[in-house]
Structures are given as C-alpha cells and as structure tokens.
Structure 1
C-alpha cells in the first residue's frame, strides 16, 4: 500500500516538490490558485504559480515581464501568510508546459476552463490533457471563478467522494482520497458499481449475491486505508448502475471527486479512461485524478 500523498511530518520535511498551479489571467485561474494554495498549506509544501506565454518561441522559461504570476503570488501571500510561493513564466503551449513541470511536482492544479474556453464546455483542453498526461496527481477545479475573490471561502466541511473500482489506479485514488479527507476532517464516500456478467450459457449469480460480493470486495480494499486513517468516517455506496451517473450523483454537494486515471476496463496505453474523462467533463466540483508521482 503506497500513499501518493504522504502526510507524515518526516516525509514532508525532506520532500519539497511543490504544488504547481497554471494561470492565464482569467478569474477561474485565480480560483485555481486559491485551491492550490490550500493544498500546499495542508501538504506543507511550497506553491509554484506558472504562467505559460502562448506565443512563438523556444520552449523555455522566461522573465515574467507581464507580472501576471507575480501579482497572483502577492495576493495569495496576503491570503496565506507563511506559505512559500514562487513564480515562473514559460514560452509554450500551456498543457505541454504544465505536463513537463509536473515531472517534479507533488500536485498540479488548473481551473476547468481558462480565458480561451468556450462557455458551453465545462472543462477545457488544458484540463483534459493534464489529467491524461501529468506525471503527478492533477486537480481540475470546475467553476473555479467561484473562488476568485478573497471574500469567497473555499467549501470546507463537505465529504470527499472516491471512485473505488478495485484497479491499480483505483488504489492510488483511495490513498489520495483518504489523505484529503483526513487533512480536512471530513467523511469519505467510497463508490463502487457492479454489473451482471453476460453469459452465453447458463445463469449468472443472483443480484443479491453479486451486490453482496461487490460490497465485500470494496470493504476489503478499504480496510488498510481505514486502519491508517482511523479518524476518517467512511460511507460505502454500492449500486447496480453505470459508474458515471452514480459518481456524478454522489458528487453533488461534495468537496471533490477523486478518481484513478484508468479503471479496470481501460486499454493498455490509454492515459485517461472513459469513466474518468466523463466525470471530469460533467462534474460540478473539483476532480482530482490520481497518478503516481
């Protein structure tokens, strides 16, 4: 059992990979900065604010002549005294810049849509690309403009929802979700769905048996994490239903949804599974996609 968000104090003292957040000057991007700062404070890590300059030129770091990242850093230092904040500006396409920088980050954060997004889309191309290709966990903050002003408090006290499908990436998601819930002192809702297998010959097990087996498997997967995070209250949600509608329903009123990048049914080589992508595209709350740092 390996926890990709290690909250032990000794580990935090020796591993200083930053939380990275991408900005573009939109209200949503500063809302994402506030979420990133909150995560950095909880993880006891520095925050790095990155502005990708979408212009022709070499893929390299540049002096922030525009001052956008610097302005964001000054504002967040005022809201989070004591947080170590650095800035960087790069020439290059934002998604590519953030993916490359994620190689040396603990977490990378973006708003779901920046200044170039279409109003009809809940999540932009940068968020989708980052969730599928980042080298560390990626947090996509939906409707991040809700928290762009200092007068808007982040939604504390709500439960964390996790999609726990029994896959290797699902195990990473459990570790992240328990760490988030423990750090915020909120309950955790673990979601697993089941389907009746199709048989050409014979009858499948009854629905009651299948539901009981699925619940038992989920309880087994949760046991080591519950032993590690004893303070986290866990609610199990096991349903005979496609995964996406159940996860979206559970997300209503939640703090965030935590998912593995690919589930059990994902094809080798796929960077983002169908369920994770659909939840990412339609959820109304931040979505944290688990990836091994």
Structure 2
C-alpha cells in the first residue's frame, strides 16, 4: 500500500507507558498506516527544574517567560520525536506533530482529526475504574467529541490480550441501526485483513435485528446493570471467548453527560472490554 492509499492515523502521544502501548498496538492492527504522532502541550510547559535554571540565566520577567516558552516547545518536540522513534520501531511510516493548546487536550486532538482528515484517531487509556474512569480523561474526551473513528487502547493489556492483537478477529456490536451498519463498514475498511464477527446482544424475549451476514446472538448480562453496561458486558465476554483483537461499536453522538446517564454502549464498552475498542461516530446523528 502506498502513502496515497495508506490509512491516515492521528496518534495522541504524551510520553506515558499507555500512549506507547497504544502506538505498538495500533501498528499491529493497522500495519500499513501513515501516522502523525501528536503531542498537545499547554504553556508554561517547562518543568520546575528547568524554570529554576532559567531564572539564573535570564534578566527580567519578559526574558524568563520567553525562555520558558522556548524550552517548553523544545521539550514538546522531543516528546513527539520519541513517539516517532517508537512508532518507526513498530513498523509505521510517521512524522511528529506538536500543537500548542490552552487546556483540553482531548478537544484539541478532536479538532486536529477533523482538520487533517484523519481516517482514525488512536489514543491510549490508563484503564481506570469507577468515577475516575468517566470524568475528565483525555481518551474519553477524544472518544466523545472526535468526528472520526477513534481507536482506544486500554493499558495495561494482559499477555493473552496482546497476543490476540496479532491474530484475532474484529467483533462488531450490532443492533440493526444505521450507526451499527456504519461501524461494520468502517471496521471492514480499516481492518481489511481481519475476519469480522457480528454480535447482537438481546434477551430471550427479543429477536435481535437482522445483520448483513451470519451473526452471534449474545445474552444480555445482569438485570441490575444499565442497558448500555449490559450490552457492553455481553460484547466483552464474547470478545474474550473468541480472542477478538478489537471490539467495534457505533456512537449515537449524544453529549457526554447524557451518554453517561444513559449508560451508552460505546462508553460502557470503552471501560469494560479490556481490549482495543473502535468507536465509530455517525455524522448524520451528531447534534
């Protein structure tokens, strides 16, 4: 595949172990992609140790502020360059991209994805549980607000989950909606070399909607769970049992607060699948 037809990846990287693991996983799942390794930084970015050193080498406040900005930009470029080195070692063709922002790294990545017409956005998640998992993380913001497909890689993955990345199928959640159809089409376009398993979660009293081809019927898990969480648990169990490399779900494009309150399938799957999740937004349903 040449550069003109390669999948265009915007990969968020901040120097953390989770970001590095996401790049490694992304290179396995999308081996022929061209990636922009992106670090968003907020001034003043230089560390306290650097600021102390600069205070002894600058004259006046303006000189100090300019020096801190300069060193912060240089450190941001160094971090992005480190991500490029990691991505190249994993087999990707890539280039660094640094973006100066004033808070809201997740929103900045979402905006960049639209401007650069990325085919997919890649981010790592630290695998937090409970309230800390749904409030304020960069990966959640990216998944909520990016208009492009978002591949979220949890950290850490267990050894068998890492092994599944190389050879596992793609598990697509199916509910018969246009969003589910778009998610299926997107998965088949991005992950062309993978077998696709379509899975519908429904209780015994409900017939799952027809799928484009043969699909799995999965039982809904636990009456005490929200509908979204119950579906997510069903998908997570099926993904584990079938050694899926990725779980793919559509998103209804609701606001963050409404998605959390309603227990959306996309957000619940992100926090409970314990393997990479591709969230596909349907532009026709965006507010």
Shared fold (TM-score greater than 0.5)?
yes
The one-character-per-residue Cα deviations of 1:69-89 (angstroms, maximum 9, x if unpaired) are 112212322331xx4311111
Structure 2: state its 5+ residue gaps: 46-71, 222-229
Tell me the CA shift for residue 161 of structure 1. 1.2
Shift of 1:98: 0.5
Matching residue of 1:173:
183
Q: Secondary structure at the match of 1:222?
A: coil
Aligned to 1:34, which of 15, 24, 31? Answer: 24
Q: In 2, distance between residues paired with 1:145 and 1:163?
A: 21
State the structure with more CA Rg.
Answer: 2
Shift of 1:108: 0.4
2:87 corresponds to: 76
Q: Is the 1:122–1:282 contact (alpha carbons within 8 Å) kept by the matching residues of 2? A: no
Q: What's the TM-score, normalizing by structure 1?
A: 0.67
Indicate the residue corresponding to 1:278 in structure 2.
Answer: 268
Q: Contact 2:187/2:248 (CA < 8 Å) preserved in 1?
A: yes
Aligned position for 1:55: 43
Task: Determine the C-alpha separation between the residues in 1 that align with 2:123 and 2:9.
Answer: 11
Cα deviation per residue 1:214-253 (whole Å; 9 max; x = unaligned)? Answer: 3xx42xx314xxxxxxxxxx65224365423211211223
Whole-angstrom CA distance in 2 between matches of 1:34 and 1:244: 25
Q: Distance in 1 between matches of 2:13 and 2:3?
A: 27
1:102 Cα shift? 1.0
Match of 1:259 among 238, 241, 249: 249
Q: Tell me, what secondary structure is at the counterpart of 1:171?
A: helix
Q: 1:131 aligns with which of 143, 146, 153?
A: 143
Aligned-pair CA distance for 1:16: 6.3
Contact 2:252/2:282 (CA < 8 Å) preserved in 1? no
Q: CA deviation at 1:193?
A: 2.5
Does the 8 Å CA contact 1:189/1:237 hold for their aligned counterparts?
no
Instruction: Write the mapping of 1:110-259 to structure 2, written as runs, cut at 5 A.
Output: 110-113=123-126, 121=132, 125-144=137-156, 155-179=165-189, 182-184=192-194, 186=195, 188-194=196-202, 207=205, 210-211=206-207, 214=208, 217-218=209-210, 221-223=211-213, 235-239=215-219, 242-252=230-240, 253-259=243-249
1:20-48 CA deviation, whole Å, 9 max, x = no partner? 11111111111112233345534xx4210
Choose which of 83, 86, 96 in structure 1 pairs with 2:95: 86
SS of equivalent residue, structure 2 residue 182: helix
Aligned in 2, Cα 1:119/1:168: closer, same or farther, shift over 3 Å?
closer
CA RMSD of aligned residues (A): 3.5
Between Structure 1 and Structure 2, which shows a larger proportion of helix residues? 2
How much does 1:18 deviate? 2.4
Equivalence for 1:231: none
